[in-house]
Structure 1
Amino acid sequence: MSEIPENAPEHCPGPDSSGAGQASACAGCPNQNLCSSGAAAAPDADAAAILERLSSIKHKLVVLSGKGGVGKSTVTAMLARALASEPHIQVGILDVDICGPSQPRVLGVAEESVHAAGTGWSPIYIEDNLAVMSIGFLLESLEDAVMWRGPSKNGLIKRFLKDVEWGKLDYLILDTPPGTSDEHLTVAHYLLQASSVAAIVVTTPQEVSLLDVRKEITFCEKVKLPIIGIVENMTSFVCPKCKHESIVFPSSTGGAASLSLECGIPVLARLPIDPLIARACDEGSDYLSTADQQSPAVLAYKQLAEKIREYFSASQGAAS
């Protein structure tokens, strides 16, 4: 592995990274041309092993958001539970938010630890057909701060992709950190070498969130990562008693609907606020199985899961 030059910027992705010379931290670096040309990079010895591991996973879904705090991790966990509500569907969640892992807490397995077997790391199972892997399982405490440079984060993501023994999965859902940085470049680089890969973008109605979502869409276009659609979270609050709908976060520019027209990307779901979802995530319980099955949030998540299934089914049919 090539050494990071002493004059490299603080968040240097490293000369061996798939984002070498291309990440935002590379701007102005004296080594940018060398790294982007590939002259500093060694052959990727893990690529074949990662591709072999991904070959047992039918569909890979990347959950993106331009800004933190829009509920991306919640959407990831709820969508995974909705897909796994069919017992014959095998679902995995890969938490690649290295500095802010949320999935262990949201899924109620924060106290678990990963077992290393001869064939790789065994993920943590929430249900017989729902498993998760996160750096949170590798820390002594969830309060530990992960203070890593880009190469260390990229290296762990590569290990997750190469060494986690998922078995055969129908869906692998990747919960990514906010933004368009090292982690996203690494994920896109390896996943796009496999088949049946796509993304959804999570936003809230406010323009401050939509501004960053536009950057996320641009990122996907540049790396050629297909976008299934936009998920607008926290669209409104529906009173569980009187069913009156209140707009908690009003949009000044039309929200996801306006962005959809602007970018030509469909809105997959408009997810309402439900305080019971926040409680379920804190407790690690399954909101979708315990809540009123006719509540707006439950129906919205089930419809979102159905649209994801339809997309991958159609894309698989087109590929064959």
Structure 2
Amino acid sequence: MHAFTSKFEALQDRINQQILGQEQVVKQLVIALLANGHVLIQGLPGLAKTRAVNEMANEVNAKLNRIQFTPDMLPADITGSEVYSNQTQSISFKPGPVFSHFLLADEINRAPAKVQSALLESMAEGQVSVAGISHPLPELFMVLATQNPIEQEGTYPLPEAQMDRFLMQILIDYPDKDAEMSMLKLLRNQQSSEASTRAATLTVEEVLCARKQVDEVFVNDNIDQYIVDLVDATRQPKKYSDELGTFIELGASPRASIALDRCARAYAWLSGRDFVAPEDVKAVCHGVLRHRIVLSFSCINQNISTDAVIDKLLDCVAHV
């Protein structure tokens, strides 16, 4: 296990050299890669959301397709469609950009709901159905969707069902001044040829092998109980705290429990352990839950963030 773990540590280091001041963001991306899940990356324009995804695809030596979502897109622009060939006088399927290892769905909330929903089958089932025929996607398939805050003009909220399909929601904030200074120097001195000739850190096969090792990380009954209690607290918050009960309007689905389990195992594996500790669950809790709970009007009115509510949740739910 150690050899593979060190390779993923090197993966993080390599990406951090190109995405300065966003170490936690990079670690969460790697956790999602190991946990075989899709991620929703949210932040204001210009905070290196797209660059982070590009760097990870380069370091894994995997095929990356990018879709720039716009209001006039059609579902076939993502999935592909059947086309008629004059030469063969037959109809064949022309795959869309979804047929890749990494799919960068850039500014996903700028497209209407019908187009956003076109991703749902591929995210959930690993396949695309066109004209009644199913076309399988690669075994390593990961959607990395970027999103600007929904209060910005020209954006559409993602459907609830699609939000729940994302394993994690990752927030990117402004870098500190030191990181921004280093970023200026990096970009000033960087030559485009350097990025293209840099050898990849991992192969697709190594990622798939690492995922099998993550699946073998041991989780005892106490950790399972802790995960279930955390998710239950989002559904019945008053049972755990009167104050928490005023914060949460709608709790998380059972997918949250599954996601906490998968991400906690990936976090433990990255830490070089073959078992999950409560600290591993806490470390991934914000990314897993922040897009799965709906805050009450009272909470929003008081400008209390989702992350602050999750902090309160972790305080209220004791692990065994």
Instruction: Please indicate the TM-score interval, normalised by the length of the shorter structure.
Output: under 0.3
Q: Mark the structure with the bigger radius of gyration.
A: 2
Output the TM-score relative to the length of structure 1: 0.26
Give the TM-score of the pair, scaled to structure 2: 0.26
**Relative to total residues, which structure has the larger helix share, 1 or 2?**
2
